[in-house]
């Protein structure tokens, strides 16, 4: 459970924002909330999409933070996080399905299936599609387990609980291994991403509150 923050002497809004930022449960990142565009993203945004002029990062009238803007035509290149849709597939036996990733990032580590939302699909459709692509299993998305921010990767991760209703496990370039795990056998030290850890942990808190996974902390 997130540790309660004490008064910091700042205004209530500042305390509220701080309470939803980095915390002692592993929600750490090298990019502080409100810290601007991650360097790796800025490197891919060199020129204005409208006129081709080189973009500049700095203060812009009417904006509440520094942004990438075009000094020629005034275009502002807003940089927003991408949405990743994932599932925690659950079998009739109450086990969850995880895959050992075959590609970077996280190659060789365990994670739940998931991927980026396409512009022409709903989050439910993305959950079904990504799970089928990565595991060969057909799932029925159910409750939303959680929504998680990962600032340094510029993603927001949506995690569904999903019931396995068909299909057969199928290895592919993205999955070196596909396995089911009982709640008390989840390979916590081998989980690839902090968002995967948080989602599986939060699912477990609902379904098996008697199991308490060891805390993990990331400093990326």
Look up residue 76 and give its two tokens.
């502002």
Q: What is the pLDDT of residue 59?
A: 92
Look up residue 162 and give its two tokens.
């999903």
- Told to judge if 125 belongs to the known catalytic residues of this protein, a careful annotator would answer no
Q: Which residue ranges make up each domain of the chain?
A: 82-207
Whether CATH 2.102.10.10 fits 82-207? no
Flag whether pLDDT at 15 surpasses 70: no
Flag whether pLDDT at 10 surpasses 60: no
Mean pLDDT computed over every residue of the chain: 86
Flag whether pLDDT at 35 surpasses 80: no
Look up residue 80 and give its two tokens.
């927003």
Left, alpha or beta for 43 (phi > 0: left; psi -120 to 50: alpha)?
alpha
Q: Which of 73-77, 116-120, 124-128, 214-218 has the lowest mean pLDDT?
A: 214-218
What is the tens place of the pLDDT at every residue in 128-150? Answer: 999 999 999 999 999 999 999 98
Q: Which of 4-8, 70-74, 168-172 has the lowest mean pLDDT?
A: 4-8
Candidate list 54, 118, 121, 177, residue with the active-site label: 177
Look up residue 198 and give its two tokens.
């948080």
Q: What is the pLDDT of residue 42?
A: 75
Q: Where are the beta strands (DSSP E) in the chain?
A: 56-58, 67-69, 76-77, 82-90, 96-101, 110-111, 114-116, 137-150, 155-167, 175-181
Q: What is the pLDDT of residue 114?
A: 98
Q: What is the SS3 assignment for 163?
A: strand
Look up residue 83 and give its two tokens.
């949405």
Flag whether pLDDT at 65 surpasses 90: no
Closest CA to 26 of 195, 197, 218: 218
Q: What is the pLDDT of residue 11?
A: 65
Whole-Å CA distances, 138 to 118, 162, 167: 19, 9, 5
| Paired residues of 100 in beta bridges | 110, 177
> Are the C-beta atoms of residues 22 and 16 closer than 8 Å to each other?
no
Flag whether pLDDT at 99 surpasses 50: yes
Cis peptide before 105 (omega within 30 of 0): yes
Global confidence as pTM: 0.82
Q: What is the pLDDT of residue 39?
A: 74
Residue 78 and residue 19: Cα distance in Å, rounded? 25
């Amino acid at each position: 459970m997130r540790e309660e923050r004490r008064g910091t002497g700042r205004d209530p809004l500042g305390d509220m924002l701080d309470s939803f930022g980095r915390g002692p449960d592993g929600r750490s990142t090298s990019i502080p909330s409100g810290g601007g565009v991650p360097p790796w993203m800025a490197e891919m945004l060199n020129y204005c999409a409208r006129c081709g002029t080189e973009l500049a990062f700095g203060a812009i009238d009417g904006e509440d933070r520094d942004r990438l803007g075009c000094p020629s035509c005034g275009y502002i290149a807003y940089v927003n996080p991408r949405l990743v849709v994932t599932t925690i597939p659950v079998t009739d036996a109450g086990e969850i399905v995880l895959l050992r990733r075959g590609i970077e990032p996280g190659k060789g580590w365990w994670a739940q299936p998931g991927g980026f939302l396409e512009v022409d699909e709903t989050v439910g459709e993305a959950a079904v599609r990504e799970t089928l692509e990565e595991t060969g299993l057909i799932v029925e998305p159910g409750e939303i387990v959680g929504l998680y921010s990962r600032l340094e990767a510029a993603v927001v991760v949506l995690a569904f609980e999903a019931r396995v209703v068909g299909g057969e496990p199928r290895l592919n370039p993205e999955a070196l291994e596909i396995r089911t795990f009982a709640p008390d056998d989840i390979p916590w030290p081998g989980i690839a991403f902090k968002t995967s850890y948080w989602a599986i942990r939060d699912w477990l808190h609902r379904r098996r509150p008697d199991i308490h996974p060891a805390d993990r902390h990331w400093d990326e």
